[in-house]
Amino acid sequence: MTRTLLVTGGAGFIGSNFVHHIVRTTDDHVIVLDKMTYAGNRESLADLPDDRVELVVGDICDEKLVDDLVTRSDAVVHYAAESHNDNSLADPGVFVQTNIIGTFTLLEAVRKHGVRFHHVSTDEVYGDLELGDPARFTEHTAYLPSSPYSSTKAGSDHLVRAWVRSFGVQATLSNCSNNYGPYQHIEKFIPRQITNLIDGVRPRLYGSGTNVRDWIHAEDHSSAVALILDKGRIGETYLIGADGEKSNKEVVELLLPLFDRAADDYDLVADRPGHDLRYAIEWSKLRDELGWTPSFSDFESGLEATVQWYRDNEAWWRHAKSATEAKYSAQGQ
């Protein structure tokens, strides 16, 4: 049966990848609710059919709008957030507003109308792991967020679980590792370095460059969320990952040769305050319970395809480049 999905933040990086995935793999209709902050981009949805995807520009904190849209929907998939750690250090207030109050507003609407809800969250709610430690995050790891961003995501996760337990809201949650792929804002690590290299600028690594992130392609994140929405058990949390651990230095060393530059042609710059050392995801619950596996198992070829996407789609990112770099320069990064 054809469903109508309300996808919040669907004009952002991962939300737009999910909307593409849904249009390609189902007959569902999608309503995107997006405030079109600096991180939203209409062009990320431009090649999708108008009769399948409707863009509503608005705020997830707008109670009336959210209520109206939820009554038109069979399920809500909640991506909208302020998502960048560095921004959360400079201006935390909007993170509390969107990530906590926005999630609360959505939860109240789905509670009132009995609509299925999937909450998209991050592995950063668990804090960080030591470098070189074999440990990974699991669904049972204690919450210990480090930044204003991750603490507001942690708060939103707690709200969802409380609304399930206290009010019987039909919700699932997922916590995913670092995503890469097309349509990612150029403030984020991989597209920042790619677009710097396109401009002939050396990549910039925070601190010593040894911090580790666990990379997953956004398409794999999307297929996992779609499966959890269909088959996940209500009230459950699923960790999403793809065994993609790499230090930031290793990522840059893979990127540089793609631009015919020496693998050590980068700069070390000021570290991020409170910079999490390492993330790593144990995703066996998702595999064993729902049969999910990632399809982008080779990070290097996924990265090469991503470089090609930024080369081919300069019009998508160029307008944001100078303002993004000005912000980093002011921080010494």
Best CA proximity match to 180, nearest among 1, 276, 301, 22? 301
Helix (H) or strand (E) holding 56: strand 53-57
DSSP string, 85-112: HHHHHH-THHHIIIIIIIHHHHHHHHHH
Indicate if 124 belongs to the active site.
yes
Query: Total number of residues binding ligand TDX (CB under 6 A)?
Result: 16
CA separation for the pair 320, 200 (Å, rounded) = 17
Provide the minimum distance between the beta carbon of 157 and ligand TDX in the complex, in angstroms, as a whole number. 12
Q: Per CB under 6 A, does 248 bind ligand TDX?
A: yes
Sheet with 4-8: strands ordered across: 53-57, 29-34, 4-8, 75-78, 116-122, 171-176, 237-240
Indicate if 328 belongs to the active site.
no
Using the minimum distance from each CB to ligand TDX, give the nearer residue, 84 or 202: 84
Provide the minimum distance between the beta carbon of 81 and ligand TDX in the complex, in angstroms, as a whole number. 7
CA separation for the pair 308, 300 (Å, rounded) = 12
Binding piece for ligand TDX, criterion CB under 6 A, among 3-11, 82-90, 215-223, 312-320: 82-90
Say how many C-beta atoms besides its own lie within 10 A of residue 207's C-beta. 14
State the binding partner of 306 from ligand NAD, ligand TDX, none, CB within 5 to 8 A by kind. none
Helix (H) or strand (E) holding 14: helix 13-25
Q: Per CB under 6 A, does 4 bind ligand NAD?
A: no
Give residues 117-136 in contact with ligand NAD (rule: CB under 6 A). Answer: 120, 122
Provide the minimum distance between the beta carbon of 131 and ligand TDX in the complex, in angstroms, as a whole number. 12
Using the minimum distance from each CB to ligand TDX, give the nearer residue, 204 or 217: 204
Active-site residue, selected from the candidate residues 79, 126, 149, 238: 149
Q: Per CB under 6 A, does 192 bind ligand TDX?
A: yes
Binding piece for ligand NAD, criterion CB under 6 A, among 8-16, 259-267, 303-311, 317-325: 8-16
**Size (the chain), residues:** 333
Binding piece for ligand TDX, criterion CB under 6 A, among 78-86, 102-110, 224-232, 281-289: 78-86
Q: Could you give the residue numbers annotated as active site?
A: 123-124, 149
